């Protein structure tokens, strides 16, 4: 009986471990590494946006990111130093790739920057909330707790900017796609697509699809795959503007 209980407990613990978000931190040093990399990316990408963004709202957001994340980065570095933890001074490979795509990509800049900010702030909220709840270093845990509200505010801001730009784009360029209904004739649109496979999958899931699989990017820059919607299997596509279209070929 005791053996069965121990095995059951072990199985439950293992299941919980596998359900933890991939952006959670395993230790104080891991948190510092991930938080510092994310913070540096926010500042560096937003400096690019200050010079290249077309929409005034995007420029204003970028300026605020430089100020807010610059201050948070400095505070993190101070606390990490006091705790004898190393602070990375360079971006990791993923963030370097994103920064290069932002700087040199051929896609409309504002849309690429906005999507990267949406993804980055979603990851940051997950990381900071997780460490604020379960962190193993008291000083860093307090820092995480104090920073979460600002990150959520940033996330709300970029979502509103994205929605506003979607409205402008829909009225001036292409009809807006209603996911799950018969799409307008134009989307999915051909164009250089900066979404990674993981980002494409997340975007499709956010649109209400599940079991997204077999994603491949075709020669038109459109991610295509299979997914479930309302209990039915369907083909699905994501174009470079972020339009999600079901029932495509």
Selected residue with higher pLDDT from 77 and 172: 77
| Spatial contact of 58 and 106, defined as CB atoms under 8 Å apart | no
Report which of 87, 162, 86, 93 is spatially closest to residue 121, judged by C-alpha positions: 162
Question: Is pLDDT of 117 > 90?
Answer: yes
Confidence of residue 170 (pLDDT cuts 50, 70, 90): low
Q: How high does pLDDT run on average in the chain? A: 83
Report which of 169, 194, 218 is spatially closest to residue 105, judged by C-alpha positions: 194
Strand bridging mode 232-238 / 223-229: antiparallel
> Which domains does the chain show, CATH number per domain?
22-172 (1.20.1260.10), 175-249 (no CATH)
The dihedrals phi and psi of 23, each to the nearest 5 degrees, come to: -100, 10
Using a pLDDT cut of 70, give the percent of the chain over it. Answer: 82
Res 183: pLDDT: 44
- What integer is the mean pLDDT of 230-245? 88
Helix axes 93-104, 109-134, angle to 10 degrees: 160
The dihedrals phi and psi of 59, each to the nearest 5 degrees, come to: -60, -45
């Amino acid at each position: 009986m005791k053996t069965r209980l121990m095995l059951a407990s072990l199985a439950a613990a293992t299941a919980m471990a596998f359900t933890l978000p991939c952006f959670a931190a395993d230790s104080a040093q891991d948190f510092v590494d991930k938080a510092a990399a994310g913070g540096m990316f926010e500042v560096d990408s937003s400096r690019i946006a200050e010079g290249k963004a077309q929409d005034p709202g995007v420029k204003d957001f970028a300026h605020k990111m430089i100020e807010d994340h610059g201050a948070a980065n400095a505070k993190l570095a101070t606390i990490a130093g006091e705790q004898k933890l190393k602070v990375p001074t360079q971006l990791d490979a993923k963030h370097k790739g994103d920064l290069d795509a932002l700087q040199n990509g051929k896609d409309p800049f504002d849309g690429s920057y906005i999507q990267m900010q949406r993804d980055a702030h979603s990851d940051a909220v997950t990381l900071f909330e997780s460490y604020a709840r379960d962190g193993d270093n008291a000083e860093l845990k307090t820092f995480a707790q104090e920073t979460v509200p600002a990150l959520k505010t940033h996330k709300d801001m970029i979502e509103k900017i994205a929605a506003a730009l979607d409205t402008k784009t829909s009225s001036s360029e292409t009809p807006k796609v209603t996911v799950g209904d018969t799409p307008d004739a134009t989307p999915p649109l051909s164009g250089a697509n900066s979404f990674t496979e993981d980002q494409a999958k997340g975007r499709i899931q956010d649109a209400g699809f599940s079991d997204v699989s077999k994603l491949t990017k075709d020669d038109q820059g459109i991610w295509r795959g299979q997914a479930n919607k309302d209990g039915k299997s369907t083909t699905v596509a994501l174009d470079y503007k972020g339009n999600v279209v079901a029932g495509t070929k």
